[in-house]
Amino acid sequence: MDISIIVPTFNEAANVGPLVAAVGAALDGSDYEIVFADDSTDSTPDIIRKVGETDPRVRMHHRTRGRGLATAVVEALPVARAEIIVVIDGDLQHPPDMIPALLAAASEGVDMVVASRYMPGGWDSGLSGPHRRLASKATRLAAYLILPRSRLTTDPLSGFFVFRRAVVEAAALRPIGYKILLEILVRGRVGKVVDVPFGFEPRQAEQSKAGLREAFNYLRQLWRLRV
């Protein structure tokens, strides 16, 4: 197994099939697995199981207790079997056809490759409205001001990235909310980071999970990582 793709999902039933198909097209001929880190309360787990019956590369770590994208990814890490880990959202706002470009950038000596909305060639038009784009920039600035290791990348809040398992093997990851990359940057053994520009696409189906609760969780995470 060369590549493990961890996909955190919460009620993304309509996106499972298209995501699996898109990953398959992008990684045709590669040795990979898709591990859904699932917290869903709808039919998403049933759909993942059904897809897995015809595609053995599709697996699932389903939680009936606990909630949060970042902790879902952390709990799925022991289930993933490869040395190279890809984290990508399940809502198709992260284009799976970019995975090969991220993997190509993960050459020897590189610990992590981040798909960045904020370097030349990237964009964040998938954020719904100017208020969300402004909030995204403000939260990135807050990370830069409070956590120096967040400055290793132009997009420390990205949910689309590749890293080597060794980066987190000895790390005590205790994330809150959605920002798993920020947790790994601060607590993991991350040396060299490479950014690759990408366009954050509009959501294809289902509803965004962002809200005031996640904003509060982000502030809590910043405080915990700082102290």
Query: Per-residue pLDDT tens for 93-127?
Result: 999 999 999 999 998 889 999 999 999 998 776 55
CATH number, position 200: 3.90.550.10
Which helix (DSSP H) or strand (DSSP E) does residue 113 occupy? strand 112-116
Flag whether the pTM goes above 0.85: yes
User: Could you tell me the two tokens for 127?
Assistant: 């954020």
Q: What are phi and psi of 209, to 5 degrees?
A: -100, 0
Return the exposure string of 85-122: e unless at least 16 CB atoms fall within 10 Å of the residue's CB, then b: bbbbbbbbbbbbebbebbbebbeeeebbbbbbbbeeeb
47-to-6, 64, 222 alpha-carbon distances in Å: 17, 16, 35
Closest to 89 (Cα-Cα) out of 41, 37, 28, 45: 37
What span, in angstroms and rounded, lies between the C-alpha atoms of 27 and 97?
Answer: 8
pLDDT at 206 over 70: no
pLDDT at 166 over 70: yes
Worst-scoring range by mean pLDDT, 1-5, 25-29, 134-138, 216-220?
134-138
What span, in angstroms and rounded, lies between the C-alpha atoms of 162 and 107?
Answer: 11
pLDDT at 176 over 90: no
pLDDT at 200 over 70: yes
When pLDDT is averaged across residues 127-150 and rounded to a whole number, the result is 79
pLDDT at 195 over 90: yes
What span, in angstroms and rounded, lies between the C-alpha atoms of 131 and 128?
Answer: 8
When pLDDT is averaged across residues 176-183 and rounded to a whole number, the result is 89
pLDDT for residue 9: 96
How many domains are there within the chain? 1
Contact (Cβ atoms closer than 8 angstroms) between residue 114 and residue 161: yes
Domain of residue 31, residue span = 3-226
Contact (Cβ atoms closer than 8 angstroms) between residue 59 and residue 79: yes
What span, in angstroms and rounded, lies between the C-alpha atoms of 184 and 222?
Answer: 13
pLDDT for residue 126: 59
